[in-house]
Amino acid sequence: MKAAIVVLSDPKGGEESLGRLFNALAAAHEFKQRKDQVELVFQGAGTRWVEEVRKPDHPARALYEAVQDTVVGVSCACADVFGARKDVEKSGLPLLTANPIPGTSGLASLARYAADGFTVMTF
C-alpha cells in the first residue's frame, strides 16, 4: 500500500481544522505502523500548520513528532501565498516545486502520486 496524505486545512479554521490535522497525522501513523509507504504533504492553507504543530503546547505535537519522518515537504507556492514560507524554511522541511504552475514558484505534484500508484487522501 502507498498513501499520500495531503493536509489542506487552515489552522485558523478552528476545531474542524484541528480535527482534520489530527486525522491526517493519525492516518500517517497507522500506515507507518503497518510498514506501508506513506508520504505526508502540507499544501494550501495547510502550510500554516508547520509552525503551529511544532509549538510545545500544541495538542497534536506528540503525534506530529511520531510521524515527522513521513513528511516529505511543503508546497512552495502555497507557502508563499499563505505567508508560511519563512516558518517552513526555519523548520528545515523541503519546499516542493514539482508541479510548475505558471506564475508561481511551483507546487507539490499530486499527479505524480497518482501516476506512481499512491492513494491520495486530503484532509
In tens, the pLDDT along 22-68 reads 999 999 999 999 999 999 999 999 999 999 999 999 999 999 999 99
Label residues 59-68 b or e (16+ Cβ within 10 Å = b).
ebeebbeebe
Q: What is the pLDDT of residue 82?
A: 97
Q: What is the pLDDT of residue 123?
A: 98
Cα distances from 63 to residues 79, 105, 116, 121, in angstroms, run 22, 30, 27, 18
Nearest to 107 by CA among 44, 19, 16: 44
Q: What is the pLDDT of residue 6?
A: 98
Q: Which three cell numbers stand for residue 117?
A: 500508484
Contact 2, 34 (CB under 8 A): no
Q: What is the mean pLDDT of residues 68-85?
A: 97
Q: What is the pLDDT of residue 37?
A: 98
Which CATH number goes with the domain that contains 45?
Answer: 3.40.1260
Q: What is the mean pLDDT of residues 92-118?
A: 96
Long-range contacts of 82-85 (CB under 8 A, 24+ apart): 82/10, 82/44, 82/45, 82/47, 82/48, 83/48, 84/47, 84/48, 84/50, 84/51
Q: What is the pLDDT of residue 101?
A: 92
Q: Which secondary-structure segment (H or E) carries 111?
A: helix 110-115
Say whether pTM exceeds 0.85: yes
Q: What is the pLDDT of residue 94?
A: 97
What tens digit of pLDDT does each residue of 79-103 get? Answer: 999 999 999 999 999 999 999 999 9
Cα distances from 113 to residues 45, 66, 71, 72, 93, in angstroms, run 20, 23, 14, 12, 19
Q: Which domain holds residue 107?
A: 2-122
Q: What is the pLDDT of residue 16?
A: 96
State the total domains in the chain: 1
